[in-house]
Structure 1
Amino acid sequence: MFQAILKRPEGTPHPILLAALFGIAEAHLQLKTPETGDDVLERFIDRNHADPDLPLIFAKLDELYRAEHRPSRNELEKWVRRPEQPRRTFARWYLARLEIHAGRRERARQLFTDLRRTGVNSPAIAPALFEFAEFEIDDGRFDEAIAILDDARLLRPDPALLTRIAFLSAQAQYLARRFDTATAAFEQIAQGDSPWTKAALFNASSGWLQVGNHTRFIADYSQLEKQGGDEQSRADLRLEEGLMQAAKGDKKAAASLQRFIHDFPKNPRVSEAWVGLAELAFHSSPPRLEEARKNLDRAIETGPTDAAVERADYLRIWVEEAAGGDESKVIALAKRFLERHIESPFAPEVRMKLAELYYRREDFANAQTQFEIIAQQNPNDSLAERALFFAGESTMSSMGEHTLDRALVLFDQVVQKKGAMRWAARNEQAVIERKLGKPNDALTLYDEVLKSDAGASEKREALCGKGDIFFEGGTSDPASYERAIEAYDQLAADKVGSIHWRNQALFKKGLCLEKKGDRVGALATFYKILEDESRPGERRELFWYYKAGFNAARLLEEDSKWESAVAIYDKLVAAGGSRSEEAKARLNNIRLEHFLWTD
């Protein structure tokens, strides 16, 4: 019967035609032959581009498409290309839906954008704009979503959709962290009589927590309670109150969480409150580690939610590390967390901690593996650059075959990120080239750092590295010592750098002078370190101080200047560092051998 009506539609009232169309479509849905049913609707739309019931017909066509395994988009694509309206606008809408389902989000965005710019100003288009706004919110484009919803309002949709538009706009403001604006909008929605009233009151209460207005939170919470808000919603708000206070360091947080546990003892989220109390104990000054452990145990005993288990497993790692016990226990906890919660937002941070623990234990193979996983799984995360850098460091420190080549690749990946560790990575590459016996390649890398916008510390390291290469080259080319001295002089002249760099540069300059046969110059250079070993407000540097002292004393002993050598050793003993006993032993030997005892 339906087919007969559609074959000879002349003179048939429009409602009858529409009923016939929908009857055929529904029959094919029941028969599970939607591919045949959509042909009937497509033919009708093709012949009636301005039918007043196009919104309903396209909606039914979309229902058929969704029932198909691989719906054809040919007709929609054809109508999108053709100018007839309003068919073109509806085709864009429903083709965008298909593209979203297929994962082609950029094409969907373009179709929605074209739809938004269309000249069709009908309330029937408002639901399409609403979907477009939801799409943009999913992609974190909150301001764009709000602008789209403003356009939807101008189309004057029915009151129910208008309320949904207002609610979604307020949600977008909330997600954009404009809590004042969002909360005001939610309160306005709550004043109306709609199915969204309680949800709006809930969100308004949450918004007041975000801005720290506890009085307004209580007012909206009480209103929600009066309007019969369900117990779970009220419990969620009370828990959020305590957790929000804890996040902001509010002293009332512990009391709020304890009150939640008291008022909602059977709520499944009680476990989350116990974890919150554990976090407060851990972050107190000083940390109350035993209390944190007990609260975590209580959380697990109460039948924890997935969120509570995740946060408890996360916190235990840091509690045990802070306790300063066996690192193996911390490693085991970190590995367990990654096994249980691989999709957790905390996973990259936990993996970084695991990698650092392996690195600290000189388990470089495992450290490298974990660092590389972080970089591969989170290429755009702030941890990625640091992870790649330390993957390179781990590789350099391991003894495997071809490790230096792999380290070069990893450090180059750091450089390509153009982040804060870029030039430190270049310096490490230069160190590797030196180990591989390629000093010229290393010099090229050091020069790149020195000519760049690298920080002062990276440039000092590069300058020192250049000097070291020239020093090593002095064995075959004595003129290279002079180039090394130039680099060391430049480094020592840096008044801003630490005393460590100055003393290192002077010591190495002294070695160069000694290699050149200038023993007097070498001794004078070593004396500069011994006479000016510290700067105001800076910790005393002893490593290069001792090296300079022992080398100066050696030169003096070789020239039989025993009293001068004794004076040097006296200074080294008085320094009170790790080599003072060595200096004391040498001092006593010289005095015994050369009768230099004093009263």
Structure 2
Amino acid sequence: MIRRILLGLLFLGSMSWGQSVNWSKIESSPDYRIAEEHLADALPNLAIPILEKLLETEGLDLTAKSSLLSKLGESQLRAQRHEAALLTLADPLLVEFSAAHIWRGYTLSQLGHYLEAIGSFQKVDRESLIPRAKLQIAILNIAIGNDDAALTELEDLQETEDTEIAEEAALRLVSLLLSSGRLEEAEDKLSSLNLSNQRYNSHRQFLQGQLELAKKNRIAAVGILQALLKKTEEENHGLPSPLVHELHLALADSLALGGNTQEGIESILITLGKFPDSPRLAELFQRLDQWITQSESREVSQKLNEWVTQSVPQPISLPLLGAPEGESASTLTYHYTSNRFLLPRAAFALLILAKENLKELESKPLGLAQLESLQIIAPSSHPEIKSEALTTYGLAALADRQFEQAFQTFAFLRQKSPSLRSQSTASALMGKAAYALLNKRVASEAFLDARSLADEAKNEKLARLTALNAGICLLSIADSEELDEITSRLEAGSSRADLLLERGLRLSDINDPSARALLDDFLASYPEHPRIDEASLSLAESYLFSLPRKTSLAREQLKPLNFDLDNQADLAIRRILAFLQMDEGMEFVAEFLKKFPGHPFAPRIVFQQGRAYQRTNEPGKAYQTYESFLATYPEDPLIEVARMQSAISALATGTDASKADALKRFEELIATKGVLATEAAILRVRLFIDQAEQDNALDAVKEILEKKNLTTSHRWRALVLEGEARYQLNDDENALKSYSQLLALKDISIGTRNRASFLKGRSLKNLDRLDEAFETFYAVVNRQIDTERMSDLEWKWFDECGKGALKLLEEKRQWTGAIKLAEKLSRSGSPSAQDAADRAKRLRLDHFIWD
């Protein structure tokens, strides 16, 4: 080898071809042949200086110079000098040089710039190179997830005259069908393959193993792949190096089937030990990262540490960024090699160790330090390591609720990521962090950026999800027009459908009736959508729980729905509750409770069943339902409310036994001193009065009125009951005191004030204080009122006071005054206005009074 290099140098030093040197002279020169031999021997670094020297030859014609530049770019690529290769291959002389486009495409693809690589391969126009370029385009389309385009290209390549390309394309087509889950098509294609090139037989065998793996036939897959792996040790196994490495991956996957992850891990560790520089390092460590949580990780960690240690002969401390003040440096450092870069296997190993360390509180600082160190010492040949380390660091910050730090980390990742796929993921995570910071506008912008990048990277799933998340972020901050604009910009596919649905669901959840139009649009536009029944249910809920209520339309949506209680319990529960809101569906309640008596939502369903019985005026059934609730769910948060409703239902049945039960429940509530204790005390007073136990009623009222922090509502109700109890005892003098206290209260409603005035006037009349009684009644009807805003209750006591004042005038035979008052009442707009008008007319006729 040394003699060959010296010979090449002698030729380089003595070459002199005059003014015109063409490609044939270069190609036949000893120097060029030596460079070719170096490339053939996988020694591109030795070929590069020879080719660079040849390019300095005077008199090179354009073809010779272009060919040499292309060969130099190829050599630089093979030597992993990607930046130098791109610079060489960007020479203007190579604009129309197909071979250069081929090598530039390979370089870009190795750097992860897949779309640019596709563009480079598409520029190839030399007929002999076009099939090879199209094959690479298909391979890259697979890498970016554009399977449909790849399938078309691979199928077209079946017709090429280049047999080798056609057969390789056929094999890749089977591989793509397998990865797409189209197993029957893959099996048919594989069985019909007729390969003229025997060296592809091992590839066919490999695909057969992958087919068995996809079908989860562990024994068959392991048998085929292990036999093939043994065969690779032979000299002429016919399996190219990339597939040998893929074979090791497939074997590990096959061994791990059926929960045998430990065997899969052992296979990967053997592979990594045998091929420390495997081109599939990322996939190998990805599986290791996934399976390590399902197996004994101690031995794996020891092996990973061993690989890292082997790559770190001279440790240097790297402090953890942002270390807490006063923290021991020894606990916050990680060692890395003095040459600043770990070997790829060691870097991947360190990444997994860091993730494992993050799982435990004590080792978390070390894990964070390891992730930070990877930003400095990870090899440039594997940029995905830095991206994954940054992603993990940001996710750790999110988990710790360090949302600002997470956002900044993902923003840095977005800026530094080498590929569109990782950039789109970084933007999506920026959106997640911004949303956690409650900055929904920034979150939506990040999600829209992620969607744009995902579209460019042909990542349809991420594009759909980020578009949906962008819309969700704007649901609570954007006006309907802005959201409509975003929705309209989405293609009529799953992204638009999902955003339309989420908008409708959210608005329905907050009882906004505008949900109806959105859900109607969704149901009409996407009848085959997998969440169509959920949309119908939400639309029914909107009709039931937002105004204006439309029970018949809700029923139309609910009746066709039939959710599986085992797999769709949440939706089934919502359907049951919706039927109960319409006072229907008791048979669904019985079915649910029979199957899931202990379900967390069972108490709520039983409670709502009781409410439905109350609304349908079936107090006996309501009482039984609430009593069942009390017996079955004594610890439920609704227990006090159920006890109250049980008492109310018992009262409504009207029997002496049920009244005794109601009294018992009221006393239980009072004894608990909970939020309903005062309400129960007031209802107990009402029960005492109805049972003519006025002394008990007055004693109970006294206890209520002596309570501290009694609300105005409870106080006025207690005073009303106190006055009524005294009224029943013919004690109008003291009843009058209760009503006067009531009217002295501030912040009572007009209806309450009108009622108190009527009761006070009634007691004044009984005490024969007729003028005071009239003044009390008349003060109500003479008050300026807003007829548009008066409630039924307010009108009721307005009318009672009007009738009381009118009756007093008639009893005093003050006919003119009575007529004027009746006419005043007829103009009030009250429900009794016509009766007042008729009374005024009757009085005029009876007493011949005509003004």
Counterpart CA distance in 1 for 2:824 and 2:524 is 57
In 2, the alpha carbon distance for the partners of 1:339 and 1:272 equals 21
How far apart in 2 are the matches of 1:351 and 1:396? 26
CA–CA distance in structure 2, aligned partners of residues 372 and 293 of structure 1: 41
Alpha-carbon separation, structure 1, partners of 2:560 and 2:666 = 28
> What does 1:14-33 align with in structure 2 at a 5 Å threshold?
none
User: How is 1:401-550 mapped onto 2 (pairs within 5 angstroms)?
Assistant: 402=658, 405-406=661-662, 409=665, 418=674, 423-424=678-679, 426-440=681-695, 442-443=697-698, 446-447=701-702, 449-450=704-705, 451-474=707-730, 480-532=731-783, 534=785, 539=790, 541-550=794-803
State how far apart, in whole Å, the 2-side matches of 1:511 and 1:237 are.
70
**Cα offset for 1:558?**
3.5
Change (3 A) 1:278 1:202: closer
Is contact 2:822–2:839 with CA below 8 Å preserved after alignment?
yes
* 1:584 matched to 2:837: yes
| Alignment check: 8 A CA contact 2:620 2:649 kept | yes
State the distance in 1 between where 2:530 and 2:759 align: 62
- Show the counterpart of 2:490: 260
280 and 418 in structure 1: CA distance in 2 versus 1, 3 angstrom threshold: closer
1:115-157 Cα deviation digits (max 9, x unpaired): xxxxx99999987874467xxxxxxxxxxxxx99568647999
1:302 alignment partner in structure 2: 528
1:377-396 aligned at under 5 Å gives the runs none
- Contact 1:404 1:432 (8 Å CA) reproduced: no
The AA in structure 1 aligned to 2:832 is R
Q: Which runs of 5+ in 1 are unaligned?
A: 1-28, 31-58, 65-119, 134-146, 475-479
Q: Does 1:598 align with 2:824?
A: no
Q: 1:211 aligns with which of 440, 456, 460?
A: 440
**Residue pair 2:332, 2:366 contacting (<8 A) in 1 also:** no
Please give the secondary structure, in 1, of the residue aligned with 2:570.
coil
Contact 1:170 1:182 in 2 (8 A): yes
CA deviation after TM superposition for structure 1 residue 336, in Å: 7.8
Taking structure 1 as the reference length, the TM-score comes to: 0.58
In 2, Cα distance between equivalents of 1:271 and 1:500? 50
Residues 386 and 328 of structure 1: is their aligned pair in 2 closer, same or farther, counting only changes over 3 Å? farther
Aligned mates of 1:189, 1:357 — CA distance in 2: 56
C-alpha contact (below 8 Å) 1:411/1:428 kept by paired residues: no
Cα deviation code 1:537-559 (max 9, x no counterpart): 98595422321232233334334
- Secondary structure class of the residue paired with 1:343: helix
Query: 1:489 Cα shift?
Result: 0.5
Aligned: 1:568 with 2:568: no
- Cα offset, 1:423, TM superposition: 4.6
Q: What are the superposed Cα offsets for residues 67-111 of structure 1, whole Å, 9 maximum, x if unpaired?
A: xxxxxxxxxxxxxxxxxxxxxxxxxxxxxxxxxxxxxxxxxxxxx
1:64-463 to structure 2, matched below 5 A, reads 130-131=358-359, 153=368, 166-172=393-399, 180-188=404-412, 191=416, 199-208=425-434, 211-213=440-442, 214-223=444-453, 228=457, 230-250=459-479, 251-262=481-492, 265=493, 267=494, 271-276=497-502, 287=514, 292-299=519-526, 301-305=527-531, 309-319=533-543, 327-330=551-554, 342-343=569-570, 347=574, 350=578, 353-354=581-582, 397=652, 402=658, 405-406=661-662, 409=665, 418=674, 423-424=678-679, 426-440=681-695, 442-443=697-698, 446-447=701-702, 449-450=704-705, 451-463=707-719
TM-score, normalising length from structure 2?
0.43
Instruction: Rate the CA distance shift 1:448–1:293 in 2: closer, same or farther, 3 A.
Output: farther
CA RMSD of aligned residues (A): 5.5
Specify whether residues 574 and 430 from structure 1 end up closer, same or farther in structure 2 by C-alpha distance, changes over 3 A only. same
Secondary structure of 2:827's counterpart equals helix
What is the aligned length? 458
Unaligned runs of 5+ in 2: 1-258, 261-290, 297-330, 335-351, 375-384, 583-607
Residues 507, 330 of structure 1: CA spacing in aligned structure 2 closer, same or farther, 3 A cutoff? same
Q: Distance in 1 between matches of 2:787 and 2:545?
A: 36
Q: Name the larger-Rg structure.
A: 2
1:378 CA displacement: 13
Cα distance between partner residues in 2 of 1:236 and 1:544: 59
- What CA distance in whole angstroms lies between the structure 1 residues aligned with 2:670 and 2:363? 40
Which residue of structure 2 aligns with residue 85 of structure 1? none
Match of 2:16 in 1: none
Give CA-to-partner distance per residue, 1:157-216, whole Å, 9 cap, x none: 99699768624433336xx6x754432233345657999987544322444565312544
Write the letter of the residue equivalent to 2:484: A
1:434-471 deviation per Cα after TM superposition (whole angstroms, max 9, x unaligned): 44555455445544554332432332222222222222
- In 2 relative to 1, CA 535–444 (structure 1 residues): closer, same or farther, beyond 3 Å? farther
Shift of 1:597: 1.8
How far apart are residue 485 of structure 1 and its match? 0.9
CA contact (8 A) 2:644 2:680 kept: yes
Q: Alpha carbons of 1:215 and 1:545: their partners in 2 closer, same or farther (altered >3 Å)? A: closer
**CA distance 1:461–1:151, change in 2 (3 Å):** farther
- Deviation at residue 578 of structure 1 after TM alignment: 1.5
Separation in 1, partners of 2:784, 2:469: 57
Letter in 2 for 1:547: E
Contact 2:536/2:558 (8 A) holds in 1:
no
Distance in 1 (CA, whole Å) between partners of 2:487 and 2:573 is 23
Q: Is the 8 Å Cα contact of residues 394 and 406 (structure 2) preserved in structure 1?
A: no
- Partners of 1:151 and 1:318 lie apart in 2 by 52
- CA distance in 1 between partners of 2:673 and 2:370 (Å): 46
CA distance in 2, matches of 1:491, 1:225: 70
* Cα distance change, pair 547–169 in 1 and its aligned pair in 2 (3 A): same
1:193–1:549 Cα change, 3 Å: same
* Letter in structure 2 aligned against 1:258: S
Paired residues of 1:187 and 1:204 also in contact (CA < 8 A):
yes
Determine the C-alpha separation between the residues in 2 that align with 1:335 and 1:433. Answer: 46
Greater Cα offset, 228-237 or 285-294: 285-294
Q: Shift of residue 321 of structure 1?
A: 6.8
Deviation at 1:259, TM superposition (A): 3.4
| Equivalent AA in structure 2 for residue 473 of structure 1 | L
Q: Percent identity?
A: 18
Distance in structure 1 (CA, Å) of the matches to 2:647 and 2:561: 25
**Matches of 1:598 and 1:491, distance apart in 2:** 41
Measure how far apart 1:373 and its partner are. Answer: 10
d(CA) in 1 for partners of 2:646, 2:795: 31
The CA deviation string for residues 329-375 of structure 1, in whole angstroms up to 9 with x for no partner, is 53675688796664259949858855588766656678889999999
Verify the 8 A CA contact 1:338 1:350 in the aligned structure 2.
no
In the alignment, residue 582 of structure 1 is paired with which amino acid?
D
The one-letter code sitting in structure 2 at the alignment partner of 1:546 is: D
What is the letter of the counterpart of residue 297 of structure 1? Answer: A
Distance in 2 separating the partners of 1:163 and 1:236: 22
